[in-house]
Structure 1
Amino acid sequence: MVGTFHGHAHNRMCQLDWHPQYIQGTGHTEGEGCEHIFAASNELARSTRHATSFHRHQAIEQHFAFWDADKYAALSKYLRTHFDEAIRAISSLTFELDIVKKEFNLIEDDFIRFHADERKYLADLKQPALHDQLLIRYTQILDELEVYRTEWDSAREAANNALSEVPTGNLQELAIAIKWSRVRVDTAYAKLQHAETHTSNMEMRLGIQPRWEISSEEYKRYKTEATMVKYRAALDDLERLVVMQLFELSKMAMSGTGRSSVGSFQ
């Protein structure tokens, strides 16, 4: 189970599996018992930071001894308070749930089905089919091949221009120009050959013959799909970052301040 304190930083699929809201029997438990203990023990840092090892252990031991005693003394009140809260929650939420069920013509099993349907939907979206992944990769390889072919053409053209710009009779500059032109052309050609080999291997694996043209319908289809894959990944990252930021603001009691801040700049 992932505690509610950290649950919002997890992706939706993880929340559906491990968030207390979707685990039967958790009730109002937030799953952050350790965080309560840590929050109370943080004050020990001031007094134990420069203490000796003996006094540090003594302070920590006394703190948790008093913690246990206080919690045990308040246990009856704690149980009674939470029992009353549970009774009130059951009464009010049952009434609200009955209204929702009546309005949308739902039964109890529908809520379980909604959870299962959402989980299945996200699981199916997790990764495209293997064949589609290879075709998406194939379009990316074709793009890389086109880039390397352009680089090779540019390298050859630059080499011809460099040789023509060398003054006649200047053998030293001519030798330097030939050297650098050869390096650039050889490097560009090696990249092009590697891309050609990679493309041919992928075509053999996928059984593609002849090679897709950049303007073909197949290429456009999987090029669009490749763009959508990047878009979905970016959208997931954006959602995660926004939720994490909102949760951090809520921890600092600053939630809801974004709108007023934006308005002050307008």
Structure 2
Amino acid sequence: MADMVQSGGLAKYPLAIISKLLEVFGKDLGGGYDIGCQFKTMLDQSPLGPLACSLNHTCLVGTFHGHAHRHLCQLDHLTMYTKGLGLEDLETCERTFSKSNALVSTVQYASAFHRKQAISGYFKHNDDYEVYANLSKFLYDNYKQALDTIRECEATLPGLMKEQNVPNEQVFEKWLAEEKAYLEQLSREPPEETLQMEYWEQLVKLTASKHDLDASQDAWAAFPAENTQLYASDATMTKKKEAL
């Protein structure tokens, strides 16, 4: 256990994790990371790159973070487009972190020793009395859910495909490939969309300017006429004082 007090989430931490996973589990692994798309570039350029490539390691983005990424990134890194992941959303760590937030009040002002002691004790208790105890039920429920999902899809999908005139399931793969090719060609936004956005922004500015103008005119119109002479007198006195 290590204290990340100042460094923050540097790339060396997930690289160390990937190194251990490749050493223990070998090939055909998929790992989820909130910036898995960027991390893939880091991994490829690191000394681990050749090993990860030879073992067919795949960098992915978890469901919680994935939908905030660019559409092209989603096609490459979301779990829903990755064969073999099944129901996994790659957000186990997020749920674990959320659950362990209950420790904050007890470790926030603790010494380094007692902080690590509390965290270690918490996760040991969680493993012994919750994770391991519920592991069989977790696997059973997930397996049952997977079978139910497959059964429902097999019953529903053919009818939907018929309604939409989709001849076979290979069409879905073709659509994804076409969508990816289209997005890769978009080095910049289409000129029509850019002009529409710029036009809309100018309309917003015009509306704001009209509002300010109306407010100024209303304020000027509300200025009492009888105060005009008083203002002129004050202006004359000011000029005389400035001339002295």
Give the TM-score, by structure 2 length. Answer: 0.52
Residue identity matched to 2:160: V
Matched, 1:46 2:136: no
Task: Decide which moves more: 226-235 or 114-123.
Answer: 226-235
Other-structure match for 2:220: none
**Whole-Å separation in 2 of the counterparts to 1:234 and 1:2:** 36
Partner of 1:29: 88
Corresponding residue number in structure 2 for 1:57: 116
Q: Is 1:102–2:162 an aligned residue pair?
A: yes
How far residue 233 of structure 1 moved from its aligned partner, in angstroms, is: 10
Identify the residue that residue 80 of structure 1 maps to in structure 2.
140
Alpha-carbon RMSD: 2.4
Mark the runs of 5 or more structure 2 residues left unpaired by the alignment: 1-59, 201-244
Q: What is the rounded CA distance, in whole Å, between the counterparts of 2:138 and 2:198 in structure 1?
A: 45
Aligned partner of 1:7 among 66, 69, 75: 66
Q: Does residue 115 of structure 1 match 2:176? A: yes
- The alpha-carbon deviation at position 42 of structure 1 amounts to 0.9
What percentage of residue pairs aligned between the two structures are identical? 36
Deviations 1:88-123 (A, max 9, x none): 111011211111222223202111001001111111
Of the three residues 11, 18, 38, the one matched with 2:77 is: 18
TM-score with structure 1 setting the length: 0.48
State how far apart, in whole Å, the 2-side matches of 1:24 and 1:233 are.
Answer: 41
| SS of the residue 2:90 aligns to | coil
- Structure 1 unmatched ranges of 5 or more: 129-224, 236-266
RCO comparison, higher one (Cα < 8 Å, 6+): 1
- Find the residue that maps to 2:88 and give its secondary structure: coil
Superposed, 1:194-205 pairs within 5 Å as: none
SS in 2 for 1:60: helix
Q: Measure the CA separation in 2 of the matches of 1:42 and 1:233.
A: 44
| Superposed displacement of residue 53, structure 1 | 2.1
For 2:61 and 2:199, the matched residues in 1 are separated by 24
Per the alignment, residue 127 of structure 2 pairs with 68
**Distance in 1 of aligned mates of 2:75 and 2:66:** 10
Give the AA of the match of 1:32.
E
